[in-house]
Structure 1
Amino acid sequence: MSGGQRRLAHFGQTLLGRRYLSRYRFTTGNDVRLFTSGDQYFAALIERIDAAKHVVTLETYIFADDDAGHDVSAALLRATQRGVRVRVITDGIGTTRLQIFSEWVAAGIEHRIYNPHLFGRFGFSRTHRKLAVIDDTYAYCGGINIVDDYDQNGTRLPFPRWDFAVELSGPVVADVRVAFDLQWRRIRIGHRPKPTPDTDGATNAQAVTDQFVRARRRIRTGDVRAAAEPSVAFVARDNIVNRRAIEKAYLTAIGQARDEVLLANPYFMPGRKLRRALIYAAERGVDVRLVVGRKEFAILDYAVPFLYRSLLRAGVKIAEYEKTMLHGKVAVVDSNWGTVGSSNLDALSLVLNNEANVVLVLHQQLDQLRGAILAAFAESRGIDVAHYEARPLSEQFVNWFAYQGYRALMKLLTVGGYD
């Protein structure tokens, strides 16, 4: 076995280890399509909805009353008119009460709202996930809401929002469907039940589990081809069993990095474990590059720079992206591991909200994703260590104060879960 093969086998064994079996599972035989804009994503989603024959499910944080929202809504209405069962989950804060909701109900679309009030049955948590499943054949996951690429709270962006989503087909679709069904039932708690059991189109994930176990067994017995086969895992974070699933996925990959860690996120306020993982990686010679979003929440613009000191001193390269709204939550490690999803690297996403990411191992789309992150890094304003250290004391104090205020508020909202 060559050095490269040994490294690949070790990488596969780590990612598919027993420790993480209960958190997420890798499956092979999946096709993946990467979208780099809302326009691409909406066109593909509407095409699949228009071809649906049985079931369409959609979950999103924002469903906007704009052209993008109207186009997707029209496709959902066309589907239900054909006799397709359509179920939609929107968030109570992310999406306001829209007129189209009444049109959905009148047409037969089933619609449920997650946590309709700021503090509700599920505390302060939101469903921040962006998911769709079509006929148990295609699934979608990413950071793209149902909203115009150029709109940012009523302001017209100079360029399309920087964001990503993936279309999946294969065994992993079952995991996405199971996650949606769980959320659908969870919202229903306390509501009057329907006369018949809510099991239409229920997924039997046993075949997926069997395939995952066989892949692990082949890797454990030294079959390098099994480790080298492209794999996908759907990773959902909730407040029941998978409280740290997405964070652990990041920690596993960064902890095994040997050459490169590329990470882009709009709200970079992770806890100590993730920050230490990035620092340790940089200290052992890994090229760690971080692209941070700006100009959406003022408190974060002031608080996030407080974290730069320890990262820069360890050798992490940091750049702030201001070309347009950076909304993508993506990462690539050593060109063979990557993630696309809804989870920000902040307290709300990592500890409180319902989130969903897809992890890709050895898929060819990783080259495209890596190129996009490197391009964003090149277009961003790099944080120079010398200039950062020479900031006025007043600016340093504002950064410290904003960070301490953010940290105190997040510890309160997460009941001490944020570190």
Structure 2
Amino acid sequence: MSRRGARRIARLGAALVSRRRATRLAFTVDNDVRLFSTGADYFAALIESIDSAREHVALETYIFRDDGAGRLVSDALQRAARRGVQVRVITDGIGTGRLSLFDEWLAAAIEHRIYNPHLFGRFGFSRTHRKLALVDGREAFCGGINIADDFDRDGEPLAHPAWDFALKLTGPSVAQVSAVFDAQWQRIALGHRPHPLEMLRERALPSMSPASWRRAQVRALSRPSVAFVARDNVVNRRAIEKAYLVAIGRARQEILLANPYFMPGRRLRRALVRAARRGVDVRLLIGRKEFPALDHAVRYLYGTLLTAGVRIAEYEKTMLHGKVAVVDSNWATVGSSNLDALSLVLNNEANVVLVQHPEIAQLRGAMLAAFAEARPVDVDRYAARPLVERLVNWFAYTAYRAAMKLITVGGYD
């Protein structure tokens, strides 16, 4: 790494850890990271890990479908339980619903808990949108891939697998994932709200003063490092959003951002505009054609971004489900969090932040390739769109914003 690059990393590190309670990031080193870009590869690795389990397996997902992919994972979970491994599964009450697989899990002695079984429950409107897996405390998986066939979109076959990503982690970061899963498991069972951050500190971080902790974090960021960040409605309400804001605010060359539901609040949009105005190459890859009303609302946001110099492309080759970003080729995030009101303000989410890891180059290459395949949004053509289309975009955005302000009790800005 050049001396200039090292200085940039040092500045980024100082920003990431200077406000410990604001960012909720705890970076660790000596982690092995593997990036998956298709469900097939991800499920194969997940099943291999489950089949090697000797003590315990934990899985949390928004969607668990009773399809070909779901059956393979379910069979692996049942095999593990029947050879005496403790298997715990959390599914979302709306994302997954009631499956016949649940009876099979019960028969195999799999422990299963449902987060917020109804649309509005004791956790309000929130969902668990996380996609996590743990095996024996030595391996963890995190990303945006549900337990579902990635050639299927709500019963509609796809010509190409959904564009999505997940990570496999080994090393100290696994303890962070484990602490967050355990907190969620207790929260569902007991109905109270344990503090995941305190559990994380107790199990994954050494006891030290704030100043010593900050120095240790800056040292960690001088090497390839990993931080696991989970969003909840207790102590980590803005954790993922703030991780994005710090990285975007420190960007000097390039920001690549891909998201299927791009409806961030004003702070994140302003950060992207400011980055583009100071000369950063900002590119947004936006998913389309899953929720038509949302498609119209998202387009309302394009004007300010395009005027500032942000490049936007709409990806329609297949379903874009990945929630990923790369900044200056040395910072990246992969996870479950969309950049919309539900993910940033309401739902339980989980992302991994990578600094200086080799996998960042692989992710950046995939994002650039997808951007090249996507349809660019032309500034002049956008400005000249018909009045009716403009009104539809405005109305869709206004309706979305009003609904999200109501659901999040004013939390969405």
TM-score (norm 1): 0.93
When residues 211 and 313 of structure 1 are mapped into structure 2, their CA distance, relative to the original with a 3 A threshold, is: farther
The amino acid across from 1:115 in the alignment is: N
Q: Corresponding residue for 1:285?
A: 279
Mapped to 2, the partners of 1:204 and 1:298 lie a distance apart of 40
In structure 1, the partner of 2:267 is 273
1:167 and 2:163 correspond:
no
Give 5+ residue unaligned stretches, structure 1.
192-202
CA distance in 1, matches of 2:201, 2:84: 26
- Matched-pair contact (CA < 8 Å) for 2:142–2:167: yes
Partner of 2:399: 405
Pick from 192, 204, 217: which aligns with 2:215? 217
Residue number among 363, 369, 372 corresponding to 2:363 in the alignment: 369
Letter in 1 for 2:204: V
CA contact (8 A) 1:9 1:219 kept: no
Instruction: In structure 2, give the amino acid aligned to 1:183.
Output: Q
The normalised TM-score by structure 2 is: 0.94
Residue 83 of structure 1 aligns to a residue whose secondary structure is coil
The sequence identity of aligned pairs, in percent, is 68
Alpha-carbon offset, residue 315 of structure 1: 0.3
What residue in structure 2 maps to residue 358 of structure 1? Answer: 352
Query: Which residue does 1:197 correspond to in 2?
Result: none
Q: Does 1:93 align with 2:94?
A: yes
Residue in structure 1 matched with residue 11 of structure 2 by the alignment: 10
Structure 2 residue identity aligned to 1:107:
A
CA contact (8 A) 2:31 2:169 kept: yes
Contact persistence 1:27–1:208 (CA under 8 A): no
Match of 2:322 in 1: 328
Distance of 1:219 and 1:46 partners within structure 2: 34
One-letter code aligned to 1:217 = R
**1:34 lines up with 2:35 in the alignment:** yes
Q: C-alpha deviations, 1:363-415, integer Å up to 9, x for none?
A: 00000000111111110000000000000111100000000000000101101
Q: CA 1:326–1:22 in 2, change beyond 3 Å: closer, same or farther? A: closer
- C-alpha deviations, 1:26-75, integer Å up to 9, x for none? 11111100000100000000000000000000000000010100000000
Query: Hey, what's the Cα distance between the residues in 2 that align with 1:219 and 1:127?
Result: 29
Asked whether the 8 Å contact 1:265–1:345 carries over to 2, the reply is yes
Q: Distance in 2 between matches of 1:242 and 1:219?
A: 19
Amino acid at match of 1:149: D
The alpha-carbon deviation at position 235 of structure 1 amounts to 0.5
Residues of 1 paired with 2:166 and 2:53: CA distance? 20
Q: 2:244 aligns with which of 250, 263, 287?
A: 250
Partner of 2:195: none
Aligned residue in 2 for 1:148 = 149
Q: Is the 8 A contact 1:265 1:291 kept in 2?
A: yes
Question: Residues of 1 paired with 2:306 and 2:131: CA distance?
Answer: 33
> What secondary structure, in the 3-state scheme, does the structure 1 residue paired with 2:206 have?
helix
Task: Give matches, 1:41-56, under 5 Å.
Answer: 41-56=42-57
In the aligned structure 2, how far is the partner of 1:62 from the partner of 1:339?
Answer: 21
**Coordinate RMSD, CA, aligned:** 1.8
The equivalent of 1:312 in structure 2 is 306
1:208 Cα shift? Answer: 3.4
Partner letter of residue 32 of structure 1?
V
For 2:25 and 2:341, locate their aligned partners in 1 and report how far apart those are by CA, in whole Å: 21
